Amino acid sequence: MSTIGYDSWAVDLAEVGPVYPFQGSEGLMVVLGVIFWIAWHRIQFVREGEHLKKAKQMGDREKIHSLLEKY
Amino acid sequence: MDGNLNALTTVFTEFYYWVTVVFMFLIHVGFCMYEVGASRHRNHMHTLMKNIMIIPLVTVTFFFFGWWIYWAFPSFPFFGGLNHDAGSANLPWSQNMGTNLSDRITGVFWAAFLLFSWTAASIVSGAVIERIRSSALWVHAVMIGSVFWIIDAAWGWHAEGWMVKYLGYHDAYASGVIHAIAGGYALGVIMVLGPRLGKFAADGTPRDIPPHNPWMLTIGIFLIYSGFWGFYAACNIPAISPEGIGGLITGETWTATNIYLAPTSLSAITFNFLMSLSGGLMAAYVVSRGDAFWTFSGGLAGIITASAGNDLYHPIQAMLVGAVGVVIVYKLHYWVERTFKIDDAVGAVAVHGYSGVVGLIISGFLLWGAPSSPYEGFAAVNPVGQTIGAVIMFGVLGWLPGFVIAKMQAAAGVLRIPEEVELQGLDYAEHHAYEDAKAEIIAADKAAVNGGGVPAE
């Protein structure tokens, strides 16, 4: 048994279509991929929010002035 | 080249590999920029020269014996003798190794492999910056670039390699044969070489040594991405008939193949390259909490982790494999650094070595049962074969020779630069000469302006 559906390359390539593993599970793969993508945005929003909250309190007036001068 | 179609196929194949070589040159440019950007100002020129001289040293040795090893070693020494027939056509004194109108492929094919050799050596070069002697690194460059990686290519990246035949080893875009071996070799060297001064505090806590020029690093890694396209294309045979393959494939349909002459397509690897790059970047951004350099390196690690199976994966599989690999590699890097006080200056062991190993093992499961070769009598891809392959690449042909050769160099006192030189910087003498020359010419120009006459020509 092979995950790609072929145990051997003793085939006529004119009759071969997809050769990726787990053919027939494309829908599931898309669901997993979309979960990964959406989860990434969620994590990113939360972390950036936390970071900005902390960053708001960080600035030292003198250092900010020198940064503004630096352009 | 009799007949138009034959001529077209020959010239297309010749040009195809030539273009991959030009693209792959960008990998070396990128490595140079990355290393210089990561090093401190006082070490720039030496860091650059250390990497640049890999080019000629690996090139000439790959011409003298590296290329012969690839053709002579597929079964040697465990499953047969040297293949003298194939090897002799690729010896440096063979008529195929020169301008020869009856052989239009050897030169470009040799060059495509050679650029992989530079990459292997350059990976090691990055890990050891700012404290290795150039002379020591250049010996390592020849050993990894023209000996050890090409032995592993003969065994596991050749249509008749014994690892492919008996283990079902499958490594289409070199997770193991380039990245795992070079990362393992680098680890062997830095274990003997030791960390840069100041890398660890007295209580053993690791310190960050930030790059002096983050933008140079950024451009460097983007150039490596660009060159990686050429690397992927170079791992394929662009167009071949079933008759040309001479294996089990029937019919008349031509195909692109991987290095084992098993079918794939440029379309497949384009999908998978971009999706594994993206999976790696996204996972690295999250796991490193937005650290720019880990994110960029994570893109590379994503591709490397998926590379073993990127000829066959579905794009979403490539993306998820790249993402999973990056998380493992990132955690492993810091665990090794903290536990064993290992200073991997640019993360080369992690991004190349650990990614390569993880990628091989994952592909053993995802491609379980797939034919490793279009020829009869070859084992199918399987997790055990891929894991043994990973041990051979990272440990036996990578870590072990790197460690042993570095030990010999350390015993001879030629591995590491003196502490005083490390503190003042490798470029100290050159900086002095530069400053003296500058002061002299400024003084001469000022004298001329003040009426002292035109400076002597």
Is residue B386 within 8 A of residue B164, CB to CB? The reply is: no
C-alpha to C-alpha distance for B211 and B228, rounded to whole angstroms: 23
Query: What are the residues whose beta carbons fall under 8 Å from the beta carbon of A51, sequence distance 6 or more?
Result: none
C-alpha to C-alpha distance for B35 and B343, rounded to whole angstroms: 15
**Chain B residues touching A47 at Cβ < 8 A:** 289-290
C-alpha to C-alpha distance for B306 and B272, rounded to whole angstroms: 8
For A4-9, the CB contacts below 8 A with 24+ separation are A4/B312, A4/B367, A4/B369, A4/B370, A6/B370, A6/B371, A7/B369, A7/B371, A7/B380, A8/B248, A8/B371, A9/B247, A9/B248, A9/B249, A9/B262, A9/B263, A9/B371, A9/B373, A9/B374
**Residue that wins the pLDDT comparison between B411 and A66:** B411
pLDDT bucket at A1, cuts 50 / 70 / 90: confident
pLDDT bucket at A68, cuts 50 / 70 / 90: confident
pLDDT score of B326 more than 80: yes
The CA radius of gyration of chain B, in Å to the nearest whole number, is: 23
Is residue B324 within 8 A of residue B105, CB to CB? The reply is: no
B383, with CB counted inside 10 A (0-12, 13-18, 19+), is middle
DSSP letter at B406?
H
CATH class entry, domain B11-242+252-432: mainly alpha
> DSSP assignment of B198-234, as one string?
TSB-TTS-B-----S-HHHHHHHHHHHHHHHHHHHHH
What digits encode the pLDDT tens for the residues B348-388? Answer: 999 999 999 999 999 999 999 999 999 999 999 999 999 99
**In a mutagenesis test of the B interface, which of A2, A12, A15, A20 is the best target, namely the one with the most B β-carbons within 10 Å?**
A20
**In a mutagenesis test of the A interface, which of B237, B314, B320 is the best target, namely the one with the most A β-carbons within 10 Å?**
B314
Nearest to A14 among B253, B282, B316 (CB): B253
Take residue B65 and report the two structure tokens written for it.
């014996």
The domain locations on chain A are: 24-70
**Nearest chain B Cα to A45, which residue?**
B286
Q: What are phi and psi of A2, to 5 degrees?
A: -130, 140
Q: How high is the pLDDT of residue B6?
A: 86
Q: What is the least distance, in Å, from the CA of B246 to any CA of chain A? A: 11
pLDDT score of B438 more than 80: yes
Going by C-alpha positions, the residue among B261, B9, B245, B254 that lies closest to residue A13 is: B254
What digits encode the pLDDT tens for the residues B184-212? Answer: 999 999 999 999 999 999 999 999 999 99
pLDDT score of B455 more than 80: no
As for the ipTM of the complex, it is: 0.94
Q: What angle do CA B425, B427, B429 make, to 5 degrees?
A: 105
Nearest to A8 among B248, B253, B285 (CB): B248
Q: How high is the pLDDT of residue B103?
A: 93
Interface of B with A (CB under 8 A): 242, 247-253, 255, 262-263, 279, 282, 285-286, 289-290, 312-314, 316-317, 319-320, 323, 366-371, 373-374, 380
**Chain A residues touching B313 at Cβ < 8 A:** 20-21
Contact assignment for A3 to B371 by CB distance below 8 Å = no
Contact assignment for B248 to A10 by CB distance below 8 Å = yes
pLDDT score of B110 more than 70: yes
User: How many residues in chain A?
Assistant: 71
What digits encode the pLDDT tens for the residues B236-254? Answer: 999 999 999 999 999 999 9
Mean pLDDT calculated for residue range B110-130: 97
Take residue B180 and report the two structure tokens written for it.
């795992």
How many CB atoms lie under 10 A from the CB of residue B279?
30
Mean pLDDT calculated for residue range B75-79: 95
Contact assignment for A4 to B279 by CB distance below 8 Å = no
CA B441 to chain CA mean position, Å: 43
Mean pLDDT calculated for residue range B216-241: 96
C-alpha to C-alpha distance for B330 and B351, rounded to whole angstroms: 8
Take residue B168 and report the two structure tokens written for it.
């079902």
pLDDT score of B117 more than 80: yes
Contact assignment for A3 to B263 by CB distance below 8 Å = no
